[in-house]
Amino acid sequence: MEYNDHTLNRVRHYLKNADIQALDRNDDLPEGYSRFFTVPITPKDSYNEVYPGIIIANGDYARNKEELKRIGITHVVNCAKGLKYGQFDTSPSYFKDAGIRFLGIQANDVITFDMSKHFEKAANFIDEALAKGGKVFVHCNKGISRSASIVLAFLMIKRGMNFMTAVRTVRSKREVLPNDGFLKQLAILNYTLYEAHNAY
């Protein structure tokens, strides 16, 4: 599959320098930041609303149905479904009594994992939730890579954003950094959606 190297490199540069640019304007380094690592080990917050009705989160609240209901969640996308360390074995039946709809994605946060096969289904799930006035909680383990990739794909597929616009939208609300394999898959999606027709 094709993608535009220039687009991918622009996105990489933006993501890897977003924090350093912010730090250069401040003398005090927030906890988790350093001048040598441009992205914090974990985001400052457990969850952030990155787009109206869409929250990206770590796994802290993934099993806490009461807390999810308290913040108005109607739909959950678990991007780290499974039984291994860093995964969360939730299911539709787990959330049924809370009236929360569920989508599970068994994704590993490694560059060789094909996250793109889940883009369309997850985008449809999120879009349908928002169309009904719902609020979607998209999580993985840290809320940095897998969940961010799914939300970026949604914004590109369903909201007409190109790759960079989607990244800027999400990154303005939460410290995310999808792994490089996922970034390439999103660059391919961007090429298919927005660039291929201009390539000839």
Report whether 144 contacts 152 (CB < 8 A). no
Task: Identify whether 140 is a catalytic site residue.
Answer: yes
Residue 21's pLDDT is what? 43
Q: Rounded distance, CA 28 to CA 78, Å?
A: 35
Give the three-class secondary structure for 94. Answer: helix
Q: Catalytic one among 11, 107, 138, 140?
A: 140
Right CATH for 5-195 from 3.90.190.10, 3.40.1130.10, 3.30.70.360, 2.60.40.10? 3.90.190.10
Are 89 and 81 contacting, i.e. CB atoms less than 8 angstroms apart?
A: yes
Residue 48 β-bridge partners = 56
**144 touches 42 (CB < 8 A):** yes
**pTM of structure:** 0.88
Per-residue pLDDT tens digits for 179-193: 999 999 999 999 999
28 has pLDDT over 60:
no
pLDDT digits (tens, 9 = 90+) for 41-97: 679 999 999 999 999 999 988 999 999 999 999 999 999 999 998 899 999 999 999
Instruction: With cut-offs at 50, 70 and 90, classify the pLDDT of residue 175.
Output: very high
Spatial distance between the Cα atoms of 107 and 84, rounded to a whole number of angstroms? 11
- The whole-number pLDDT of residue 19 equals 62
Contact partners, residue 67, CB within 8 Å, separation at least 6 = 61
CA dist 54 → 74, 196, 200 (Å): 11, 29, 36
Question: Across residues 125-133, what is the average pLDDT?
Answer: 98
Where are the domains positioned within the chain?
5-195
